[in-house]
Amino acid sequence: MVHSLCTIIFFCCFSCGINSGNDIYKKFPVGSLLSDTILKGADQIIPNNSDLILLYDISTEWDDFSPHLLFYDSTLRLYAASFFPSAKIDSIKNNVINAVVFDNRIKNKRSFRNDLPKKYQLNLYSSERVTTSFNRANKLVEKIELGTGGESLIFYILKSNDMFVAAGNERSPTTDPAFLKNFTIRDTIKYPITDIIFDFDKSVVKRKFMESNTFIHEQMMLVNKCVLLNIYQEIIKLH
């Protein structure tokens, strides 16, 4: 009886401060299976040993961002989830998740579920000094393949010498022949899987990186959504 009472008290203290609308387990219960809908909503999808780690924004407001890490086991069932005070996983090495910290989100940590699995650690650090920034949009992705071991993605692309040709473009390249003519250079590029941010709804993938103190936000258009659906299935097959 005493043990049960202590358990209840511990659970209440652990959960105190968490608004029900912010509780990741209300949206994705522990033990629930990974679905296509969840994959389509994930910003990052990263295999790590027998786990699959997703970066997922649970916010429903256009001007808000509430990133969480979802941890799925080898059976693709959710076994843990935790608030993540960053916009991107930079790398995972020996179960240490490295990322640039957003200080304003650290302050909100107690408002969310913080249930990081014991075998993982977060290594959060400040961003490099940024002097300038710009958007890059000159690649059209025809196909993505998973690299050996799931640590990289291989992009088969068409690109343009004009670094900004697709900036702000919302048209589908497959239905706009005039726009498609801008992409004449065929290339194959390999990126670490942690470099890639998926946006299924907009049919793009993104990269955010530093280059000589310049922050580059690169957006690559897809020929169609099947490009992402196929790579999702490749990643799942690792499990």
Tell me the pLDDT tens digit for each residue of 56-92: 998 877 667 889 999 999 999 999 999 999 999 999 9
- Cα–Cα distance measured from residue 226 to residue 43, given in angstroms and rounded to the nearest whole number: 17
Lowest mean pLDDT among 78-92, 171-185, 204-218: 171-185
Report CA dihedral (168, 171, 174, 175) to the nearest 10 degrees.
-150
Two tokens, residue 234:
């490749």
What integer pLDDT is reported at residue 174 of this predicted model? 63
CB 76 within 8 A of CB 52: yes
Q: Give the tens place of pLDDT for each residue, 83-102.
A: 999 999 999 999 999 999 88
- For strands 132-146 and 51-57, give the pairing: unpaired
Q: Which of 61, 62, 71, 64 is nearest to 24 (CA)?
A: 71
Q: Which amino acid is at 30?
A: V
Average pLDDT, the chain: 86
Report the predicted TM-score, pTM, of the whole model to 2 decimal places: 0.87
- For strands 132-146 and 152-159, give the pairing: antiparallel
Q: Which of 40, 42, 46 is nearest to 193 (CA)?
A: 46
Q: Which residues pair with 101 in a beta bridge?
A: none
pLDDT at 3 over 60: no
CB 6 within 8 A of CB 21: no
pLDDT category, 166, cuts 50, 70, 90? confident
Q: Give the tens place of pLDDT for each residue, 192-203.
A: 999 999 999 999
Two tokens, residue 238:
């690792």
